[in-house]
Amino acid sequence: MRWDGISEFVYVAEYESFTRAAKELGISTAQVSRQISALEKRLNIKLLYRTTRKVSLTEEGRVFYQHCRGVLDGLDVAEQAVSNLQSKPQGRIKLTAPVTYGEQQLLPLVNDFMVKYNDIEVTAFLSNQKIDLVDGGYDLAIRIGKLNDSTMMAKKLSHRTNFVCAAPAYLKKHGTPHSLSELSQHNCLLGTRDYWHFIDSDKDADKEKNMRVFGTVQYNSGHSLVDAALKGLGIVQLPDYYVQKYLASGALVSLLDNYREPEESIWAIYPHNRHLSPKIRLLVDYLAERLA
């Protein structure tokens, strides 16, 4: 009986919602409410403030939550210790990643991982939108660049570099820019944003700079932008995994290298309030080893 209501209380405290806690636990909202009311009665302590719009912890509730969270984490560790005795990881992994990076870099490695561990199942949703991992029930997300969400745990997997480049035919016809100011004289092939990232090395100290650029093309497809650049339509700025092979072959020429922005980190992130299961940890370590 001492365990009754503990899980329900912890989930409500973390999600700040009876409805979301009930969904995560797979029970009804009414059952969550009954269990927590019974727990408060048993302890003779008010643990939660409830309004029609918000649920929050009382001072006593915050203290009780910290202890209960530790207890549940201990149970997770015990269950995972038993799970680790299995010869192979198993179960479903649900993940999300940016579209092109997912297609070209991530999912081929996930496929290799599944060949190695054939009791693993994977559901992947590729999107360039930031998806709420908790609401979507995701175990893992791949994010590129600066991380703003402090509620997530993160592990760095790799990095990417953005290149400004153009076809030799375009440069022969229109000239080669050697400074950022010269970009205004060129046709810049745009993606979803109308500005490019640089380091302004003309200053006394290097400073990150977003520079507005203009051109006759704007696509939300990196592959289509590469094709336009290869056909001499203009200058493009794209991550390395779009253009590396063309730079190596000479089909594209790298430009303005002195102004290239620093590498962007690529991260695996997962919800802070979920203990990382063995299969997820194994996949994250597998990706980090091969993407480094």
Distance CA 179, CA 200 (A): 10
User: Is the model's pLDDT at 289 over the cut of 70?
Assistant: yes
Question: What pLDDT was estimated at residue 206?
Answer: 66
CA dihedral 95, 138, 159, 202 (to 10 degrees): 130
Across all residues in the chain, what is the average pLDDT? 88
Instruction: Tell which wins on pLDDT, 206 or 221.
Output: 221
Work out the average pLDDT over 138-144: 91
pLDDT tens digits along 153-190: 888 999 989 999 999 999 999 999 999 999 999 999 99
pLDDT tens digits along 187-217: 999 998 889 989 876 555 567 888 999 999 9
Work out the average pLDDT over 14-33: 91
pLDDT tens digits along 231-272: 999 999 999 989 999 999 999 999 999 999 888 899 999 876
Question: What pLDDT was estimated at residue 83?
Answer: 61
Question: What pLDDT was estimated at residue 262?
Answer: 80
Of 8-12, 97-101, 125-129, 131-135, the range with the lowest mean pLDDT is 131-135
Phi, psi of 84 (to 5 degrees): -65, -15
Question: What pLDDT was estimated at residue 236?
Answer: 97
Q: What is the DSSP string of the chain?
A: -TTTTHHHHHHHHHHT-HHHHHHHHTS-HHHHHHHHHHHHHHHT---EEE-SS-EEE-HHHHHHHHHHHHHHHHHHHHHHHHHTTSSS--EEEEEEE-HHHIIIIIHHHHHHHHHHSTTEEEEEEE-SS---HHHHT-SEEEEES----TTEEEEEEEEE-EEEEE-HHHHHHH----SGGGGGGS-EEB-SSSEEEEEETTSSS-EEEEEE---S-B-S-HHHHHHHHHTTS-EEEEEHHHHHHHHHHTSSEEE-GGGPPPPEEEEEEEETTS---HHHHHHHHHHHHHH-
Work out the average pLDDT over 102-115: 94
**pTM of full prediction above 0.85:** no
Distance CA 227, CA 230 (A): 5
pLDDT tens digits along 54-94: 899 999 999 999 999 888 888 777 776 666 555 567 889 99
246, amino acid identity: Y
Question: What pLDDT was estimated at residue 238?
Answer: 95
Tokens for 125? 């949703």
Question: What pLDDT was estimated at residue 278?
Answer: 77
Question: What pLDDT was estimated at residue 207?
Answer: 78
Work out the average pLDDT over 117-123: 91
Question: What pLDDT was estimated at residue 279?
Answer: 85
Question: What pLDDT was estimated at residue 2?
Answer: 73
Work out the average pLDDT over 36-46: 93
